[in-house]
Copies of this chain bind each other. A is one copy, B any other.
Amino acid sequence: MQSSKKISLAVIRRLPRYYRYLDDLLKKDINKTSSGDLSELMGITASQIRQDLSNFGSFGQQGYGYNVENLLSEIKKILNVDKIYKLVIVGIGNIGNAITSYIMEQYVGIELVALFDNNENVIGTTVYGLKVKNVNLLSEFIRQNNIEIAALTIPEKYANDIAKIAVDAGVEGIWNFCPTDLEVPSEIMVENVNLSDGLMILSFRINNQKTSNN
Q: Does A209 interact with chain B (Cβ within 8 Å)?
A: yes
Chain A residues numbered 77-99 whose CB sits less than 8 Å from any CB in chain B? 78-81, 83, 85, 93-95, 97-99
Q: Are B16 and A206 in contact (CB under 8 A)?
A: no
Nearest Cβ on chain B to A14's Cβ, whole angstroms: 9
- What chain B residues lie within 8 Å of A5 (beta carbons)? 208, 211-212
- What chain B residues lie within 8 Å of A93 (beta carbons)? 98
Chain A residues numbered 9-30 whose CB sits less than 8 Å from any CB in chain B? 9, 12-13, 15-17, 19-20
- What chain B residues lie within 8 Å of A81 (beta carbons)? 200, 203
In the complex this chain forms, how many copies of it are found?
2
Q: Are B95 and A201 in contact (CB under 8 A)?
A: no
Q: Are A80 and B207 in contact (CB under 8 A)?
A: yes
Q: Does A120 interact with chain B (Cβ within 8 Å)?
A: no
Binds B, one of A61-69, A161-169, A171-179: A171-179
CA distance A195 to B151 in the complex (A): 12
Q: Give the 8 A-B CB pairs with smallest separation, nearest first.
A: A94-B98, A16-B197, A189-B205, A191-B202, A80-B207, A95-B98, A191-B198, A173-B206
Binding site for B on A (CB under 8 A): 1-2, 4-5, 9, 12-13, 15-17, 19-20, 42-43, 78-81, 83, 85, 93-95, 97-99, 101-103, 106-107, 109-110, 148-149, 172-173, 175, 179-181, 187, 189, 191, 193-213
